[in-house]
Structure 1
Amino acid sequence: MTAAMSRSLVRLQRHFGNILSAGPICPRNQQIRFASNYSTAAAERKRFYQDVSISQGEGGLFEINLDRRKLKTPGGKLFTVPNEALAIAVATEWDAQRDTLKFYTMHLSTLCNTALDNPTQRNKEQMISAALKYLETDTVCYRVDEPHGLVELQKNEWDPVLHWMENRYNVTIGSSSSILGPDIPKATKDTFRQHLNSYSFWSLTGLEYVITQLKSVVLSMGMIDRHLTVEQAVLLSRLEEEYQIQHWGNVEWAHDYDTYELRARTAAGALFVHLTSESSTVKRKLLQD
């Protein structure tokens, strides 16, 4: 990895945290039903390369090279990404691995593999429908009747984000303490369907991944639109759990571990969405004598 490539990621890491060189993260297989199940290989493998580089191939797509070998997907396709910024981010993941490759920490690479191989063979319309189903069971829309402290906490912390979402997209969502949840108007679903249709297949891959992590379309869109930070979105998605921990205590290391892991996955998904929904280029400074 060249110094120039490493410096190019500093700007990205300011928004999404230092996730690209994160240490080992143990996956919670019960909760990850989407891209994380589509691993690049076995859980771990001995590192078999020395250098990582990127190159531009046919059609302007960028490739990842491990020494002189081109990286391929689990399905055998050439691993190509649509822009240089994403290529640098993926290359950084591979370069950050030490003696043992821990594929379950390489979230961006896994998302790229999912977009390239499309193992579930879905199209954009099916992906949008799957994402919108989470709106019907959105974390911030389901409220409790008791205890009073949690009721107030949900109101104070979730309502501002929900109101921002409704104003931002001119929709009605609402909340409910009923087991059936709020009745989402058809007009609201149509608005979000139209909005999500503006995303590319790659971006939808990342957005659906984020939604499954947070169990919330509202929090996911709030973060993608940069109304919420990754830390804020994760904390709001765990609001009830955090409330219970404050009152009953917890196994501190396990709580910290789960929180860090969820932040890493969520940040990677958000970064992936931005890198695939914008025209991302890497600017280099010319050195003068």
Structure 2
Amino acid sequence: WWKGSLKTRDAQGRYPNEAPWQCPTLPVGGPSLWLPCMVRAYTPPTERKKFYQNVSISQGEGGFEINLDNRKLKTPQAKLFTVPSEALAIAVATEWDSQQDTIKFYTMHLTTLCNTALDNPSQRNKEQLIRAAVKFLETDTVCYRVEEPTALVELQKNEWDPMIEWAEKRYHLMNGSSTSIMGPNIPARTKDTFTSHLASYNMWALQGNEYVITQLKSLILSMGLLDRHITVEKAVLLSRLEEEYQIQHWGSVEWAHDYDMYELRARTAAGTLFAHLCSESSTVKHKLLQD
């Protein structure tokens, strides 16, 4: 079934109703059961019984590898799971080591991102990744404003304007906001500036950045995170500003609201950490991460 699903990708190279390249694969020599990678809405996330005891990392010719009971982890396309930095390898190994009786793949965001970077299921190059990121400016969360109610208008102005002002000062550009359904008019110079800046990141870091952008629906908030200008908690709150306003006035489903908030924080934090670790050139000792 899993191999057959490779033939059903859409024009963007993704599977229908799928979370981006989420399913980790089995280690070499592990059980032969293939795991479904398609995650449909309102269905329980994929889990399976834990089949290993010990997790370790080792350095190979292509980088750092993950070992489950001395068996090497591989990607969904059966490539050797190899990451470029020791720090990232330790972080991924921690995801696998923290699993209990069952492996909850939907909690392993760093593993997901590594699989995406290694397999590149959509077959995009660096230029295409950058172009997709910059295109988010046209629908950026902090650039779309409401005209009413007045309280929400003021809230967006007070919370979102400082982020736009920061971006304009940080990247020496002009950006704007709009209440029109057509969105703001983004100057070509602004797009060129972001394109040039993103070109300084490697392919792995760009994958992490795109993951953050899709969570927050905002390139500006994503860049604020990568530049350590705002925290993950702040970025998530800003991305959900209108929703939080509505909840304060109309209430919410208690458990659902909290769950969505924590999930969004987890994914955003993982994407930010991934981008940072993939941008670091130096290795990090085990004790540094343990501390």
TM-score under structure 2 length normalisation = 0.84
Mapped contact 2:66–2:72 kept (Cα < 8 A): yes
Cα shift at 1:132:
1.0
**What are the equivalent positions in structure 2 for 1:117-132 lying under 5 Å apart?**
117-132=119-134
Cα shift at 1:278:
1.4
Aligned match for 1:155, one of 147, 153, 157:
157
Aligned match for 1:75, one of 56, 74, 77:
77
Aligned match for 2:167, one of 165, 168, 176:
165
Mapped contact 1:134–1:217 kept (Cα < 8 A): yes
Cα shift at 1:284:
6.3
In the aligned structure 2, how far is the partner of 1:34 from the partner of 1:225? 30
**What are the equivalent positions in structure 2 for 1:51-66 lying under 5 Å apart?**
51-59=54-62, 61-66=63-68
In the aligned structure 2, how far is the partner of 1:223 from the partner of 1:242? 20
What runs of 5+ residues in structure 1 fail to find an aligned partner? 1-31
Equivalence for 2:32: none
Mapped contact 2:21–2:116 kept (Cα < 8 A): no
Alignment of 1:48 onto 2:51: yes
Alignment of 1:244 onto 2:246: yes
RMSD, matched Cα: 1.5
Task: Kindly indicate whether structure 1 or structure 2 has the higher relative contact order, using CA contacts under 8 Å at least 6 residues apart.
Answer: 1
Cα deviation 1:211-232 (Å, max 9, x = unaligned)? 0000000111001111100000
Cα shift at 1:37:
4.3
**What are the equivalent positions in structure 2 for 1:259-278 lying under 5 Å apart?**
259-278=261-280
Cα shift at 1:44:
1.2
Amino acid corresponding to residue 127 of structure 1 in structure 2: L
Equivalence for 2:225: 223
Mapped contact 1:35–1:110 kept (Cα < 8 A): no
Equivalence for 2:256: 254
Equivalence for 1:16: none
Cα shift at 1:46:
0.9
Amino acid corresponding to residue 54 of structure 2 in structure 1: D
In the aligned structure 1, how far is the partner of 2:214 from the partner of 2:241? 16
In the aligned structure 2, how far is the partner of 1:239 from the partner of 1:280? 37
Equivalence for 2:204: 202
Cα shift at 1:35:
6.2
Aligned match for 1:39, one of 15, 23, 26:
23
Deviates more, 1:33-42 or 1:107-116: 33-42
Mapped contact 1:35–1:111 kept (Cα < 8 A): no
Cα shift at 1:39:
2.0
In the aligned structure 2, how far is the partner of 1:157 from the partner of 1:73? 41
Amino acid corresponding to residue 94 of structure 1 in structure 2: W
Equivalence for 2:28: none
What runs of 5+ residues in structure 2 fail to find an aligned partner? 1-15, 25-34, 37-45
What SS is found at the alignment partner of 1:227? coil
Aligned match for 1:187, one of 186, 189, 194:
189
What SS is found at the alignment partner of 1:183? coil
In the aligned structure 2, how far is the partner of 1:284 from the partner of 1:108? 17
Mapped contact 1:62–1:81 kept (Cα < 8 A): yes
% identical equivalent positions: 75
In the aligned structure 2, how far is the partner of 1:35 from the partner of 1:271? 19
Cα shift at 1:236:
0.3
Cα shift at 1:283:
3.5
Equivalence for 1:11: none
Equivalence for 2:180: 178
What SS is found at the alignment partner of 1:58? coil
Mapped contact 1:35–1:114 kept (Cα < 8 A): no
In the aligned structure 2, how far is the partner of 1:270 from the partner of 1:283? 20
TM-score under structure 1 length normalisation = 0.85
Mapped contact 1:47–1:99 kept (Cα < 8 A): yes
In the aligned structure 2, how far is the partner of 1:54 from the partner of 1:35? 27
